[in-house]
Structures are given as structure tokens and as C-alpha cells.
Chains A and B, each alone.
Chain A
Amino acid sequence: MTSKFLPAQEFAAGSADWELLPFRFHRLDGRVLVTNMVGEHLFLTDEEFELLATDRLPHDSRLVKRLRAKHVIRQPGEAAPLDLLALKTRTRYRRLPLFTGLHIFVVSLRCEHSCPYCQVSRQSSDKTRYDMSAETASSALALAFQSPSPQLKIEFQGGEPLLNFPLIKEIIGEAERLNQDHQRDVIFVIATNLALLDDEVIDFCRDHDVYFSTSLDGPRDLHNKNRPRPGRNSWELATEGIARVREALGRDRVAALMTTTKASLNRPREIIDAYVEHGFHEIFLRPLSPYGFAVKTKSYSAYDTDLWLNFYREGLKYIVDLNRQGVDLCERYASIMLKKMLTNDDPGYVDLTSPAGIGIGAVVYNYDGDVYASDEGRMLAEMGDHTFRLGNVANDSYADIFLSEALLAPLDESFALSAPMCVDCAIEPYCGADPVYHYATSGDFVGRKPVSGFCRRNMAITELLLTLYETDPDARAIFLDWAAR
């Protein structure tokens, strides 16, 4: 039978005249991390890297095969590596033309909690002052449906959004009516502390396939310290609410997020144990938010980043050990980066993508109709800085808002492939641009990467993940699973 394939020698290298393809490098623990144009990686020894860097690669060798497989080198005139890199580049950026999928509706600033890390909540009996009106909601919804995204996630936030539940019902009803013509894949999420969950809310959410996202900061004492309310029972109400939603609507209808505070930093295992105890299969070890510190006290600094990194390292290693013992628990920050490291996909997480996810991935419609590029941009506005205000739903068109200089300037200036240091960084494919963070901490959209907590954090996590991936077979299998989720 005639083979359909050319003989192996047809694919052998013709000579040692290897051409370099675009790559970047980073030195780590006596080895050299090399990443190609789309973030595929390999580790080289110093000796191997020197051969590559000084154009002294042999005609053929195991090293040459590895470099060729990762599109770091090619034979002169070889087209397949270019086609493959182009295809993979398109894959990485495939979400961009879909544009804004996450639309956050701040239906009320009122809240019965008084969490110190929240910049925006208000406690007021005057409902009209801090609640979104029906007219504003309708205008915001009309804008949301102008997004070209085939999937729309409408997320209700606050304050505590259940304090304006009647409006939530109106918005969902109107969205469902609009969608009869638009035919998008629409998901509704209520981000709530669950303290006000009742049968009316449960019944409505069952009928309209609404999901819940809540806060669980860890064990009871830590959660209640972070999240004070009258009765000092935030943890009790949250955990009871989680159980109630699962029983009524299904196990996967409620997710939880933790907020890391200074009080959390020496308790990562207890926080993780709390998530396991309450049946969650994912935890997001989120970084410290700089906005309160940066804006109020100007004291946020790399020192805090180091403390958080110690928290993260201990937490991640504990989670890997739990997985080794058969506990299914995924760490979200790691899974986002691993997807970018180990696949050609970019999950488009707003705070860890380039171009930045502000406006492109998510947009915020505030209670008063003001539109913000991100939730953090809204927080800055509550502190008096309106840099990330894009417009108002009452006065501005879709084009006015999404083509505003307030959005385009930070997107343009922070784009990592144009930013100093980022453009040459081997870790750039796994990282992102966060113009709001850098504006809040250093006064401009790009920041100074040598002192950027964002840069330091992501570089350290990358090093940790890749080291575990390369040296621990169990961690490697776990990470491959997380990357595929």
C-alpha cells in the first residue's frame, strides 16, 4: 500500500542554518525559560541557551527538535511554523471581536453590611438616593444589547443588590423580552451577601435560571471580622444561604469569592478548608485590593505584595496537596494563567489580559446611570476620581461610550506588547494589562514595572506554577486538568 505521507527524511533539517523565530527569555533558578510568540514554553540549561543565542545550534539534536517543536527556530523558507504561529495568535485573540460580554448593573448602593474593604456601599433609608431607577436600568439594558457578544452575562451588584430586588425582576423581565429578538445566550447572576435571601427571591431565580455569587472570606471569625453587620452574623447567613440555594436550585447555582485582607494573610489553609467544608470545587485566592490604600493612605506598596505572595504560595501548595489526596479543588488564579501557559486560549479574565479587559470584557452601569470601564474604576469614582467614567446611559450613545477617550486611552497606553519591559518579557503571554491598578498605585496607565506589585505578583506566580509543573508529576497532572476547565 502506498503511504500518503512523505518519508521521514523529507522533514529532516537540510542544514544547520537555523533561523530564529520571535522568542523571549527569563532566567529562573539556574535555567532559562524560553517562550515563543504565543506563550508556548520550554526550559533550557545555560549551555543550551548559549548555543541558541550565539547561533551555534547543530544540524540536528534533541535540543534542535525541542526548539523546532516550540516554534523557536525554523529552517529558512519553512512556512508551516509561520502559519501555525499565526493561527495560534488568532486563537489567543479570538474573544476580542466578540467584545463586551459582562454587563454589571449596580442596582443599589445601599447595604446592611459595612465591610471595611468596600469603597462603595451606603447605608441609607432614602431608597431613591442610591437605587437605580427603572428608566436608568432600561437605558443600560438597551446599551448592553448593542454589544456584539453572542453571550451576555448580566450581573447585579451593589451595595447589596437584593435591597432593590423589584428592579432586578424588572430588568430580567425586560432582558428576556428583548432577547426574543436578539437571541443571545443570556445569563443572569446576582452578586449578593445572601443575608436577605427569602422564598420570593428563590422562587423567582428558579423560574428565570438566575445564578448567585456570594462572599465567603473563610472561617467564621475571619469572615465576620471582614464583613461586619448588625447581629455579627454575616457568616451564618452566607453559609445558610449557600445551602438554601443549592437545595432549591442546584449545587452549581451558587459560587463564592473571598476577599483577601491583612487578617487573611496568615490563614490560607483555614480559608481553603472553609471552601472544602462548604462543598466548593473552586477557590479564587484573590490579591489584596490596592484601591483603599492607594487612594486613602498612599501606603500600598510592594511590601504588601510580598506578604500576599507568601499567602498565595502556601495556599496553592496546600491546594495541590489536597488534590493529591483526591479533593477536587481548583485555584482560579492559577487556572487562568495555566490556560494561557498550556493552551492557546486566553480566558479573557478582565484583570489579567492584554489588551486590558476594561470595556472590552466588562462594563459597569452605576445606579446613577454613569458608565464605568470596570468595577475598580467605579470605586475610584466613589473616591472622587472619575478617570474611568465613560459616560452616562441617559445622555450618551453606545458609540459615545465605547469610543470615548476615557476607554481608548488606557487600553492603548497599557497594551502590553507596546509597554516598556512587558514587550521583552517572557511572561507577557501569561500576564495582562491593568491600567486601573497602575493608575491607582502610580498615577498612570502603564506604571513602572520594576516597582509594580501587579508585575511582581504575576511573575512570581508564573515562576511558581512552572516550577511545580516541571518538577512535580502530580502537580503537572493537576495543572493540565485546571488548564482544560
Chain B
Amino acid sequence: MRVIDGTIRCTLHPSSDDENDLASLLVDLEHEVLDETLRARIRDQTADVRNLILALAFSNTGLVDPKDA
């Protein structure tokens, strides 16, 4: 993978000469890119509420001496 002029170029090196395999691989890759893009968006969109939930979960654990808080 390389970034060229703001575009990510991904070069595939198939292990098989079967064109059907390559076509299927390309479809799978495109779907995977879409899904990973969606995962990144969900992660970013829910980051604040996730951190809030974790803060709620681990507050009052007694792991920090109140004098040091």
C-alpha cells in the first residue's frame, strides 16, 4: 500500500491465476474497506460516550487514595 497524491493505492498480488478468484478477491477487499471505514466512523462518533462509560465504571474503585486524587 502506498499513498500517492492523497490517494491510497493498494496493489494486489494474487496467488492464483484464476480471474474469477481475482474478481472475488477485489469485491471482498472493497467490502472490507467499506466496513473498516464504517468501524472507524462508529469509533469516532462514540468515543466520548465510551470514555464516559469507562470513567463511570472505574470511578469509586478504591484504587486511588482520596488524598492523592
Contact = CB atoms under 8 A, between A and B. Distances in A.
B53 A89 contact: yes
A247 B12 CA distance: 64
The residue among B35, B49, B58 with the most chain A CB atoms within 10 A of its own CB is: B49
Given A24-B39, A53-B38, A424-B39, A82 B46 contact: no
Interface stretch (A15-23, A144-152, A380-388): A15-23
B45 A89 contact: no
Interface in B44-67: 45-46, 49-50, 52-54, 56-58, 61, 63
A19 B35 CA distance: 20
Interface residues of A, number: 20
A6 to B, nearest CB: 24
Nearest to A71: B53
Interface string A75-96: 0000000110111011001000
A31 interface: no
A160 to B, nearest CB: 42
A411 to B, nearest CB: 16
Contact of A37 (B39, B50, B58, B63): B50
Interface in B12-69: 35-36, 38-39, 42-43, 45-46, 49-50, 52-54, 56-58, 61, 63
Nearest to B51: A22
Contact of B53 (A23, A37, A93, A424): A37
Contacts, number: 47
B64 to A, nearest CB: 13
Interface string A87-110: 101100100010000000000000
A45 to B, nearest CB: 16
A321 B67 CA distance: 59
Contacts of A53: 38, 42
Interface residues of B, number: 18
A82 B55 CA distance: 10
A27 interface: yes
A38 to B, nearest CB: 9
Contact of A21 (B36, B38, B46, B54): B46
A184 to B, nearest CB: 20
A424 B49 contact: no
A482 B42 CA distance: 33
A112 B57 CA distance: 51
Nearest to B62: A97
B56 A83 contact: yes
A56 to B, nearest CB: 14
Interface string A422-446: 0010000000000000000000000
Contact of A20 (B36, B46, B58, B63): B46
Given A27-B35, A82-B52, A424 B43 contact: yes
A19 B49 contact: yes
A90 B57 contact: yes
Contacts of A89: 53-54, 57
Contacts of A85: 53, 57
Contact of A22 (B35, B50, B56): B50
Nearest to A426: B39
Interface in A3-25: 19-25
15 contacts: A20-B45, A22-B42, A22-B46, A25-B38, A25-B39, A27-B35, A37-B50, A82-B49, A82-B52, A82-B53, A82-B56, A83-B56, A85-B53, A89-B54, A97-B63
Interface of A: 19-25, 27, 37, 53, 82-83, 85-87, 89-90, 93, 97, 424
Interface of B: 35-36, 38-39, 42-43, 45-46, 49-50, 52-54, 56-58, 61, 63
The 4 closest A-B pairs by CB, nearest first: A86-B56, A89-B57, A86-B57, A22-B46
